[in-house]
């Protein structure tokens, strides 16, 4: 759910050292290392990305979020921490292929907007339109991991991946009945799972 009218959100975001403002930057120079870079599109309030950054200090994480009113909550959390391996970008995912060029290790799509109306299916982050945008952002093999509570979006995504040359490497049709030893939840996930919703997950890979 989108937050609205967060006073001073734009100013807080623009003044944070965690937020990338020059999108032409070399990301390895930004992080001052050659560690793998993983991105999450639609990072929301940042819980998933922040917990990953804490748990995996030798991996760099970049969160992408379109809305100031949502992103500011992640910024506020980060300002109380000292994490060197996480940065945020405020942008529309439509432009993802203009920002990254063969430097991403894994792409996370967590609880993305399902865009239920058929005429809006191309807006889904797993649509062929977006899979085309992702083609050249990956450094080595193309690796995408999604989680969602929306079965129709999940089924659509599986078909979209397979039809575009991806192979399934890991899948769960009920994540909270399977092994959760390395699962880091998002804010939505925690709420949905507590209410008994089924959480679907799939990891897909496509070789160059």
Our answer to whether residue 113 is catalytic in this structure is yes
Residue 85: alpha-carbon gap to chain centroid:
15
Catalytic residue from among 34, 82, 105, 113: 113
Tell me the C-alpha to C-alpha distance, in Å, between residue 17 and each of 87, 101, 104: 8, 23, 21
Query: Which positions are annotated as active-site residues?
Result: 113
């Amino acid at each position: 759910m989108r937050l609205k009218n967060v006073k001073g959100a734009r100013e807080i975001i623009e003044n944070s050292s965690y937020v990338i403002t020059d999108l032409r930057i070399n990301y390895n120079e930004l992080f001052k290392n050659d560690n793998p870079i993983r991105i999450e599109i639609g990072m929301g309030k940042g819980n998933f990305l922040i917990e990953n950054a804490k748990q995996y200090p030798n991996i760099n994480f970049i969160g992408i979020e379109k809305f100031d009113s949502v992103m500011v909550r992640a910024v506020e959390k980060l300002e109380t921490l000292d994490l060197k391996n996480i940065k945020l970008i405020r942008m529309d995912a439509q432009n993802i292929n203009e920002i990254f060029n063969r430097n991403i290790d894994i792409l996370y799509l967590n609880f993305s907007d399902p865009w239920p109306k058929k005429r809006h299916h191309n807006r889904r982050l797993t649509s062929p339109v977006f899979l085309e945008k992702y083609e050249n952002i990956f450094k080595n093999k193309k690796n995408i991991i999604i989680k969602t509570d929306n079965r129709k979006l999940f089924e659509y995504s599986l078909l979209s991946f397979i039809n575009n040359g991806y192979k399934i490497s890991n899948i769960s049709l009920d994540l909270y009945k399977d092994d959760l030893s390395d699962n880091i939840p998002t804010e939505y996930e925690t709420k949905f799972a507590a209410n008994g919703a089924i959480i679907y997950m799939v990891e897909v890979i496509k070789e160059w």
